Structure formats: structure tokens, C-alpha cells
Structure 1
């Protein structure tokens, strides 16, 4: 027995140890709630690295959410640093399925349909793209069978189309088979998908579900890529396997190959994502993919989270359901047991109930408040964030009404997905202000005789009126004096302005009506600066609108159309679709607030007190007639697994099992009681039996309980040199807005000139590294540059004058002419590197590593003329510090000695384009210590600056806000 195994035995229980040591071949780990799943995964990875000599970069580790990926990254990096194991985090394939597949597409882009600078759509982008092109689909024969009738409207049609296109992608359905189908609905679906792929190709775009579809195409159609990846990845691990879909299983099995060192972890009882294409069969049938006895299985059943009475309750809940159809069983048999500990001998699964008269909620609201006050009065609750309310949906009117009631009674509520973004005061006032600035608004909205959109009532009553009411107040006189003449100007606009809607937004932030939401005090308040972050989100929406509708300035010819598109379409659809508010990944339960979350949101989390609502719910069908047709006619890659008439019940039980098992110390089932039958009854018949067997919370001595503090995740944040360290050093206030509060700068596009130079030089390096240096010549370089410019300018909606393009070409060809004799010295290009520190992860990207034997040089390209060595001394010193750390990281990662570091100025046409530095090991420690200080300031939200950086201010979107801020120092003249 090794020392490491002996140490493991003291930390891991026998079930966990079995899972950690089962390394080779297929492994299935069934991990019940609170059973130490993440600990087991982390220790299994550490065991592979330390005991099996597996290089960290040959591991492929997939998690379900970005938050889970960050937690896993933090815990793995902490353990490896603790064990003094050298590794480069950037070389590890660790993340969500989508992030890893996207990385594969970027690494092997030349083997895919994607071109340089492709656009990645989120779900709203995708639906809005379909909405803008719905005419192309309407023109397809029999399209209404998939998108619905024209009477339903373009937005509803795009929503329906979105669902079916994603279904084809996520199920990896075979397009030729669909096109040859006898069923007309299926053939139409294939035609729509083909048209959609053409549009994506034309616009060099990729949507979220298409990431995996394209990755599968890459692996299936490019055997050389698959062979390379199989060689690279020794071991694959997948978390939350019960929520994987067909395409993900196919990708994993392809990558695993014949070695099949594939470990999947999950809990079939917590499968929640069928509506996104997930299939529970992946985990239930996993052992059957292999020869009898080949798949090792470990089951983690010791719950380290919950009081035994809570565990008893949810075990009983699962026993209420029949999990077989007489021939097959659709659940792994398991009995969750509590950890060995001293627990208070009392019931900790209780009910909270109140009945009301018809249409009233008075008693119900009062009872919920009484319970919360009872918790507070017990003296055992230290913070409201120890309490989480879980619902099927937080957008439900009754849930929103309860949240508003509690807030009115002094109980703050954190409910980021309750669709309240457009109800927030700061958003309504901002929309009202934009309406005020365009007096033609009433005219442009009356677009069709007799048509009335509900959104107009929202604009009139909740946005425009409150804003004009504010304008009448003396404290807003400066705003009125600014806005009134501007509105008159817009009403009779005769020539282009030098701003668009987003420019007006940033101007409005200078006035107290909006700047009050942005102060340091407001941002550090109990709601985590929700208002400031909402305004940051609104800035993104405006810049996205301007991008999608080609609006760069206000143009008198197009102004009325732009206003109509913004208010009648873009914002209207966002209001209807709902938009989430800010969520802090590292603090899922903000201090000072009770949480209102969906059950899906709560997955993977735990709370001392869980109040589970939505007990009026009943099982409901989630599939349509077209789903059934695709399934029954054999178009899916596998036949149906669970009996169709059982599916809604299975999913219902799994959903509430997940909710009940989030509770640590107290589980409360809460129902606003209503008698009756069917959908009107609460609790519904599915809960009634267990609900009334529970004691009332009023009979339980809450002071006898101990409530844990909410678990601190302590995620390490990632900081890059250029995007974080340099920005903060240049202007901490700018960092606060654009990095911390996530405002979107108007000029967010790439600096086209520099990016074009970088991309084309990268093409040269990549060709050399592929062994194709013989193809690198001026004609080929010109071709690369033309293609790069074509896609980059199309994405950024920015264009360069002919003489500027000629200058770009001169930069690149100048580099080629100088360096073409040194191609054999190129080692690596565009190298992502990282340094894992105790409190954070420092990331950077090295443009080029070249050298001979064991000595290398680090090069960073600058697409400008060489600076004056004296005048720009400070900036050059900053670059030197950056290169020093890059050099240090390269040595740590490769073991090669870095001799020199260079800045290469591509715009230098006469003399030496290099500015070179000798690596100084003594200076590196000081540089990293300085970075530590900067990160420490960022993390404690210290954004004080001594003086405004005048050069930066000239082009900063926040300058009007800063001009009017009460600075603690003299303003610049």
C-alpha cells in the first residue's frame, strides 16, 4: 500500500475509496445526494496524476455547469499545488461539454465549416436570428407543419422553429434519413434544418446546440483528428451523467476508443433535463454498453449533508413510486443513509400550511412570514441566506406575489430568474428616459391601424410616466435641462449624430437619477448592487440591438425605423421572454436575503433550511406529436427506453426528490391549502398523503436545531494580464464598470488593424508548425489576410480604408521578409498559460515561443511603430513585467530555459523591430507580488484612484458619469 493510498483511507469512506481506485476501463459511480461526489472526483484525478503518472493535460473532465467547472478547477488546482505538482491549467480539458467542444472546434477549425472570427449565438441571439430570417422559412413548402401558422406571429414561429432545430442538433439526427422520410412533417423539419445550416454558414455563425453537433461531425468525419485526440486523452471523466444527451454519449464513446478509460458519475434519481434533450437511459444503460462484467460500479450512499429525518422522508418519497413496467427497472436500487453523528432527536421534515378564502392569499402570506420570524426568534438562524424557497417556477404570479410581500415586510429576497428585470425601477426609468428623448415615439409605435400591443401600456404607465414625474422634481433640473433640448433636436433631426442609443444611455448615467444606483455604497449593499448590474445588463442589450440592426449613429432617414425596431420588437420580445438578473457564481446565496430559486437552479446546491413550494403540481407531459412521430418511426438513434405513460411520473418524482435532498437541517413542505379536485387542489394528491403525515412547524422547537452556515464555495477567479491587471492599473474606475459591473463599452469591437495583423501572422506560424513552411509565400499571406479581413470585418461591422489595408499588408510582409530564414526555430504559437496562486489564477497568452535546443525566447507582437524608449519607458516597463511572468510560466510548463524576451513591433519599417529584455529571476518575484496586490484590491473592491488618466478619459464611455462624480481629487482641466 502506498503512502497516498493509506492517506486516502483516512479521508475517504470505503465506497468513495472504491470509486477513487477504480481507474482503468469503464467505471460507473452512482453518487447519492450529499455523498461527497466532488471530493471523490478530485481525489480520483489526484490519484491518477500521483500514482498512475498520468499527465494532467491528458485528462478530459466534463461537468454540467460553468459554476461546477470552476469549483472543480479550484479544488483540483489547490490539491496539485498542495502536492507541488507542476501543471498548466490551460492544457487540461476541464469544463462543460459545450466549452470543451468549442475548444475542440477552435483547435481544429480548419477541419470544420467554421471560418476565422465566427459568431457564437446565445439562445436569444439564435431566436432573434430566426425571427429576422423567418421569411426564408415561411417560403419553404409546408413549413407551417413545423413553425406554425402565420397568424401566430413571427416571434412564436421562431420560438417553435428554435425548438425543432435544436432537437435535430442535440439528438444528432441523420439529415439524409429525415429528408427521405415518408412522413411529410419529418421531411419539412429536414428542409428547415438544411436552410438553417445554410444561413449559419452564410453568416459564419454557430449556435449553442450546434457546438456539440459540429464537434461530433468533426470526430466522425476526420479520422486523423479523432486519432490525435484518442492518443492525447488517457482518461475521461463525466459528472452529472444522468443529464447527458445522445450526442454527448456519442462524443464520449468516440473519444474513449478501445481503451475506454471512461468514468461516469451521477445519480439517476436526479435526472432533470429531459426537456433539453437529456436522456436518463445514458446512465441506466451505461454498463450494458460493455461486455458482461467489464464495467466497474461503485455506489456512494452515505449522505454527509442532511439530518436523518430528512433522508428518511425523501427515501420514503422514492418508495411511493413504482420504478418498473413489469419487465425492466428504471432506477438503480439504493438506500441513502446518514453519516455517523449526533443529531437532535426530533422531526426535521415538517409542513407549513394555511388556507385562504377564494382568491385571497392573506393567511398564506402571514403564515410564511410567521415561520420566518419563528426561525429568527429561535436565535439559531444567523443570516437570511440560510433559507431557500424552491419552486417549479419563480415566474409564477403567486411566487412573485409572495416575494413582494416578504420584501414589504423587511425580508429581502434574492430571485434572479423571476422575470422582474423589466419591473426594476432603474430599468423602467432608463426606458422612460429613452422614450422622452424621442418625441416621435407615439407616432412610430402606431404602425398598423387598430393594432394595440400590450407592451405599450408598460411603456406608458411604468416607464414614461415615472420618468416624467421625476423630471418635475428640483433635484432633477440638470437632467431636464439636458434632455429637453436634445429631445427637440431628435424630433427634427436633419443630419447624422455621432452617437446612437447606447451613447445616450451612457450620457444619462451622469445624472443623480441614475448615478445613485452606481455609487460604491449602492454596489456593496445587501442586494450586491443589483441595480448597477441591471444597468450593466441593459447596456449589453442596447449594444446588441445596435449590432443586430446595423445602428452605429442616429440617422434621420432610418431613425423612425430604428425606434420602432427597438421598442416594438427587440425590447418587446425581451420583456415577453424574460431576462435573468445578476447571479454571483461564487456566492449562490447572497448574505442578508432568502433565496427564491427554481428546483433546477438548486441542483448541486445545499441550504440549511429548504422550503419546498409548488405542492399543487401534478405530473405533466413534456413531449409533442412530432416528438412521438420521430420516436415511434425510428428516426432517433435509439428506440424509446422508458414507457411513455410512465415518463411524466418518473420525471415528477425525480424533480421533487432533488428539491427535498437540498436540505441540511430543516425541510419544510409548504402549501397554500385548497380543496377540490384535479388542478385546483393543493397539496395535490401526489403529495397529500406524505404532507399530512408531517408535523406542523408550529409543533417543533426550532431553538433545538442547529443551522449550518451556507457553504462557501471559494471559487478562484481568473485574471488575465491584458483584460484585468493592465485595465485595473490604467484606471480602477474603468475596471469597476466594465469588468466588475459588466457594462458593455460601445466600442467593444476588436481593434481591427491589430487583430488582422495578429491573425495573419498566426496563420504563418500555424502553417510552419504543421510542416507546411514551403507554402508560406507573399501570395499565400495575401490570401490569408483577405480571408481574415472578410470574416473579421463582417463580424465586427468595421471596415478599413484601402490605404489602411495596404499598411496591414506591409506590417505582415515586413515580418515575413525579416523572419523567413528562422522558421525552423518556431516551437509554439498562441500558447495559453496560467499560474495557480493561493487566491486566484493568473492567465496569459504568449504569441510565439521560438528557440534552439533547450533555450527558448518569448515574443509578444505589437502592431504599431516602435515607441520612443524614453517617453514610453513606463509602458515598456509594464510590458517587461508581463513578459517576465510569461517566461517564468513557460519554464515551469516546458522545463526549457528562457533566455530572452522580446516585443516585436510590426510597424517598424527601417530599424530593428525588437525591444528585447533579459530574463531576471529576481525581478519576477516582485512582479508577481505586485499582481497579488492588484488582485487583492480588486477582490476587496477598492477602486480608488489618485488622479484621472486623461488619455483614457477621452475615449471612455463613462467619462460623463465621472465628470459629474464628486471626486476626492481635483478634476483634470
Structure 2
């Protein structure tokens, strides 16, 4: 039996032995990575040495991209980790650290919150002077936000005038505004500081995108508050209540969570674990399954901790007759070393252990678990290393095929690439408009009718139709944070009833409804959904339902709908092993002639798919600079202020 030691780990008989042996350095043909250390006699020296090392790798051409370097930590939310990230960024080395919980400390977020506070000037003046202890940290933060906003207004007279205009309007408010907090944020995007952020070229790498993506997150944060509190406008009656609740309750909760765990995280791209142009800061747990040419492991203060499961552990001890596989007094050591086995085995070529040296205090560094191994390593700064023997390969690109849908990708991009960039690519929260809610309500209730028909329950539809309609409306109000006037709601219900009562020829032979379609291309997947497949035998028709006014022949939207249906025909034929004979659009708003019909054109489908493929390639190249020339589209778009299609007053 081997002698057991906490700091000299042995798996014994409890697991297959895992041993990492560093390269001898004699030949880089060896499969194991070279191991060294970087230490610092102080935190400041440690920061400087880490920076100089990475800069040397880049300047001397040993790495071609900062993403070839990954830092692994026990936690990226610790103060020491964030200070290192800030130092590297101040020296021009971008850091990708989505779980560092630094969202509220980013300048663009503080600027936006500061401008919002300035708009509610009387409230913010009172807030920052409040003596309550529970608000102390928050009011200090808001004070800093206001300082940033004041500087922006000093630099931009138009912004200052707009803030003053809104402040006067809200101070003297009688009745309601036609906006709430999210809309105020969108109006800010017309001014220089925010416009430069929104102008970001998305092909430039994730580091340069952080500010615009953080603003996208902020629109979602504000929209969520408005949805939770049923706020769609600011009224003179509820103004004080909803403003104080936003800044003192909602933001205080998020801000506190951000500093104590579980709060808002910055953007992260799940499809690209090492974004171009950045060194990655991630937890050891996040790094599972990943590999990097160079791995720098910190957190050498770490030590095993008991995993106290409380009641569950007591139940297991009392009722389980199986002996534990691992001795309970050693489980915490086994778990500890498993974690660092993961960390050390992420390195393909070079593994570096790093820490500032700290001999005093509760957390000496390196701690006893690492001290002996760390001391045995050669320090990069004590030796003259040549990296000529290394061949640091580029980080492997993701080979996952992305999916693109006709309506949410192809059509949206062709309508306006700026709109696509903001709401589809970046995920800004759209402030839903009534026409969107109207169409969704009609569409969902027609889906309910189709489901009943497919269940052979046609006779039950008249008794249930209004209930389905009301339930769908309530669900959409909650999800889209929008409402319909009674007249519009009655019109939507009339469309649905008209369809059921007067279009039996269309729905009586329904075969399938809401059919998901997928077509694998060479480098992406094309998705779609057809509302109805109808017919018997091997020949069918496909039907797509459209709300709004029936377009005139030659209308651009009609041409695009026909293209979409032509490709749907191909996808349906492949999926269902049938022949599609007819393509139909159905407009519930047109009671006299609701159907537009097309013949399938097999010769055109291949060229249409090529056309759609070109659109996808533009999306993947992040070509988002083409604005729509159809100003009716702009009237319903939240980006109309940024695009200068309407002034924010």
C-alpha cells in the first residue's frame, strides 16, 4: 500500500492512474506539453510579467492570434482575476471572459444608466444623497454613472439638449408618454457615443463587439422589467413608483447578484469557444473538452474543500448498504486533483503555472497543494528560453453547421440588413408593435383550428374557438409585452372565424400542419416551416398564411413569398416523398378572394436556392450595412432613431 499524502496525489485502486509528465524540452516532437512557471514578487510585477510574456509571443510571431492563449481559473469572478483582465486590456490585449460578472462596470452600461438617471433628474439628485445604508453601494455606483453621463453631455451638445428636453417633459408630465425605458435607450442610440458603438463592424472580432453586445443585453434587461411590471408607457400617476422600483429594487437586485454570484454575465458565443483576437479567461470547468496551444493556470491558492451534502449524505449513510467506492475522507482530494488534471491536460504545447508570490495572510500563494511542484519548475524570467522549437497551431475552428430560416433570416436580412444585425444577430430586444401581435394572434388561433381538424374534432371548433383566441391573446400579451385595442382584437377574431366558416375547401383535406422543414446545404442548414400540407395520395398542395393586406401583383413582398414557397415545395417533396402541385398564400383579411396561387416551377428552384445561399454567405460575412429604402419598414423599427429616420423628440 502506497503511503498517502494530501499534496502528492495517488489514485491507488480507486481510478485508472492519470499522470501528466512534462516534456523534457529536448524535442518538440514529443506529445506532452512543456511546463514552466511565471511568478511575481508583487501583484503589480506579476501583471507586468504576464503582459510582457504574451506580448513577446505575439510580437515575435510565435502566435498569430491571441486566442491561442487561454487562462484557466478556479473562478473568473474573483477580484484578482478581474484586475488581471483589466490590466491586460489596458495594455491592448483583449480578454474574452463572459462569466466574469463585469457587466455593470463596463463604460457603455454605466453611460446608458447614467443618461437614464439624468433624464429623471429630480429623482437621481435625491437618490444619490439618500442616507440608507442598504443603498450605499448602489448610490456610489449611480454617482459614477452620472459622472460619465455628464462628461458625454459636455462633449455632445445634442445629447445634452435631448436629456434636458426629456427631463422637462417628464417633470411636467400630464397623462402618459408614448415611450418607456427601453424606448429611451433606443433613442440614445442616435447620439455620437452610442452611435459609434452601434456602428461596430461585426467582422472585427469579439473583443470589439463587447460594447454593442452589452447594450443588447441592457435592452433585454429593461424590456424584462417593463414586462414584469406591465409598463409600456410612463404615466404621471405611476412615474415615481416605476422609476424608483427600477433603480432601487430591480437594478439593486441585479447589481448585488452581479457582485455576489448569479447576476448578469456578458455575451458569450457558444459556437466559438476561443473568439479571434482575445485571450480567453475561463474556469477550469468551462474548459472541459477544449484544447489550446498555450494554457496559463492560475488559482494556485486553491485547496480541497468538503462537499457537504447535508441531509442527502445522512440519508445515504443510513439507508445505503453499498460501501463507498472512494474513502469519504479522501473524496475532496480526489475531486480537487480531477479538476486540475482537467486544467493541465488542456494544453497542447505549453503549460504555465502562474501566481504572484504571497507568503502571508489566509491564502498564501502558491498554496500547499501546489507549492512543491511550483517551486520545482523553471521560471520563464529566470532563463533564456527560445520558442523556435514550438509550432503553436491555430485554435481549431468550430465545424458546426449553422441553421438559417427563411422568415427569421433570409426575409429579414433582405428587408433590412441593419434591422437583421440588431435584432437577429445581436439579440437586441424589439419593442413589439400592434401589427406583429395581430398577426401572431390570428396565426396561433388558426393553428388551434388545424389541430382540432387533424384530431377529427371539427364539430367542437365553434364552441372552443373564442376560448382558444382569448388564451392565445393572453399568452402573447405576456410574451410580447404589447396589447391590441378592442377594435383590432375584434378584427383579428373576425379573420379567424371567416377562415373556419368560409374556407372549408381549403382545410377539409388538411394532411399536416406546422410542418418543420430542413435542407442540408454544403456549409449550412436551411430551415423553414410550412403552415399546411393538404391533399390526398401522392400529390399535395402547400399553404402559407399571411396577415395584413393582400399585395398587388408585382409587389416585391409577393415575389419574395413566391420564392419562399417554391423552395418549400422542394423541401416538402424530399421530406414527405410526395409531389407538390400547387403553392398557395391565404390572406384571412380578404373575405372575397383570400387565396393567391402559384404553379410550382422546378426549373427556378435551384436558382432561388443559390440566391438564398448568397444571402446566407453575406450574413456569415457580417455584411450589415445596407439599410432598407422602404420607409414604411422604418416606422415600425426600434432602430429608426439610430438610422436617423426619425428624430428622438
When normalised by structure 2's length, the TM-score is: 0.89
Residues 517, 523 of structure 1: 8 Å contact kept? no
CA distance in 2, matches of 1:733, 1:318: 58
1:930 to partner: Cα distance: 1.2
Q: Does structure 1 residue 763 correspond to structure 2 residue 448? A: yes
In the alignment, which of 496, 501, 507 is matched to residue 812 of structure 1? 496
CA distance in 2, matches of 1:319, 1:892: 61
Distance 1:511 1:703, change over 3 A: same
Structure 2 unmatched ranges of 5 or more: 259-263
Residues 427, 534 of structure 1: 8 Å contact kept? yes
Distance 1:515 1:318, change over 3 A: farther
Q: Map residues 466-485 of structure 1 onto 2, 5 A cutoff.
A: 466-473=148-155, 476-485=156-165
Question: For 1:755, what is the secondary structure of its paired residue?
Answer: helix
CA distance in 2, matches of 1:855, 1:318: 73
CA distance in 1, matches of 2:66, 2:357: 25
Distance 1:619 1:812, change over 3 A: same
Q: Map residues 191-590 of structure 1 onto 2, 5 A cutoff.
A: 320-323=8-11, 330-332=14-16, 343-344=28-29, 348-356=33-41, 360-376=42-58, 379-439=61-121, 440-443=123-126, 452-460=135-143, 462-473=144-155, 476-521=156-201, 524=204, 527-578=207-258, 579-590=264-275
1:532 to partner: Cα distance: 1.2
Q: Does structure 1 residue 692 correspond to structure 2 residue 375? A: yes
CA distance in 1, matches of 2:91, 2:481: 50
Residues 203, 622 of structure 2: 8 Å contact kept? no
Question: For 1:382, what is the secondary structure of its paired residue?
Answer: coil
Distance 1:837 1:523, change over 3 A: closer
CA distance in 2, matches of 1:513, 1:419: 23
Residues 856, 897 of structure 1: 8 Å contact kept? yes
Distance 1:471 1:834, change over 3 A: same
Residue in 2 aligned with 1:741? 426
Residue in 2 aligned with 1:915? 596
CA distance in 1, matches of 2:202, 2:586: 45
1:733 to partner: Cα distance: 1.4
In the alignment, which of 696, 711, 718 is matched to residue 396 of structure 2? 711
Q: Cα deviation per residue 1:108-131 (whole Å; 9 max; x = unaligned)?
A: xxxxxxxxxxxxxxxxxxxxxxxx
Q: Map residues 611-760 of structure 1 onto 2, 5 A cutoff.
A: 611-623=296-308, 625-629=310-314, 631-632=316-317, 644-675=328-359, 679-698=362-381, 699=383, 700-747=385-432, 751-760=436-445
Structure 1 unmatched ranges of 5 or more: 1-316, 966-970
Residue in 2 aligned with 1:936? 617
Residue in 1 aligned with 2:470? 786
CA distance in 2, matches of 1:811, 1:717: 37
Residue in 2 aligned with 1:830? 514
1:433 to partner: Cα distance: 0.4
In the alignment, which of 832, 852, 874 is matched to residue 536 of structure 2? 852
When normalised by structure 1's length, the TM-score is: 0.61
Q: Cα deviation per residue 1:605-660 (whole Å; 9 max; x = unaligned)?
A: 111000011111001234354554565566x9x99875543332222112111111
Residues 318, 653 of structure 1: 8 Å contact kept? no
Question: For 1:827, what is the secondary structure of its paired residue?
Answer: strand
1:459 to partner: Cα distance: 0.7
Residue in 2 aligned with 1:839? 523
Residue in 1 aligned with 2:261? none
1:508 to partner: Cα distance: 0.9
Q: Which has the higher contact order (CA 8 A, sep 6+)?
A: 2
CA distance in 2, matches of 1:418, 1:779: 54
Question: For 1:581, what is the secondary structure of its paired residue?
Answer: coil
Q: Cα deviation per residue 1:718-766 (whole Å; 9 max; x = unaligned)?
A: 2111111111111111112112222111227893332222222222222
Residues 32, 348 of structure 2: 8 Å contact kept? no
1:940 to partner: Cα distance: 1.5
Residues 586, 714 of structure 1: 8 Å contact kept? no
CA distance in 2, matches of 1:494, 1:849: 53
Distance 1:763 1:447, change over 3 A: farther
Distance 1:802 1:479, change over 3 A: closer
CA distance in 2, matches of 1:505, 1:419: 22
1:534 to partner: Cα distance: 1.1
1:710 to partner: Cα distance: 0.9
In the alignment, which of 574, 584, 595 is matched to residue 892 of structure 1? 574
Distance 1:643 1:629, change over 3 A: same
1:362 to partner: Cα distance: 2.3
Residue in 2 aligned with 1:58? none
CA distance in 1, matches of 2:326, 2:186: 54
1:793 to partner: Cα distance: 3.4
Question: For 1:899, what is the secondary structure of its paired residue?
Answer: strand
1:839 to partner: Cα distance: 2.4
Aligned residues: 631
Distance 1:937 1:856, change over 3 A: same
1:355 to partner: Cα distance: 4.4
Residues 530, 582 of structure 1: 8 Å contact kept? yes
CA distance in 2, matches of 1:709, 1:406: 21
CA distance in 1, matches of 2:69, 2:407: 40
CA distance in 1, matches of 2:63, 2:255: 37
Residue in 1 aligned with 2:284? 599
CA distance in 2, matches of 1:642, 1:750: 62
Distance 1:330 1:750, change over 3 A: farther
CA distance in 2, matches of 1:346, 1:803: 73
Residues 605, 662 of structure 1: 8 Å contact kept? yes
CA distance in 2, matches of 1:330, 1:385: 37
CA RMSD of aligned residues (A): 3.1
Q: Cα deviation per residue 1:228-269 (whole Å; 9 max; x = unaligned)?
A: xxxxxxxxxxxxxxxxxxxxxxxxxxxxxxxxxxxxxxxxxx
1:445 to partner: Cα distance: 6.8
1:522 to partner: Cα distance: 8.0
When structure 1 is superposed on structure 2, of 847-856 and 447-456 the one drifting more is 447-456
CA distance in 1, matches of 2:631, 2:59: 55
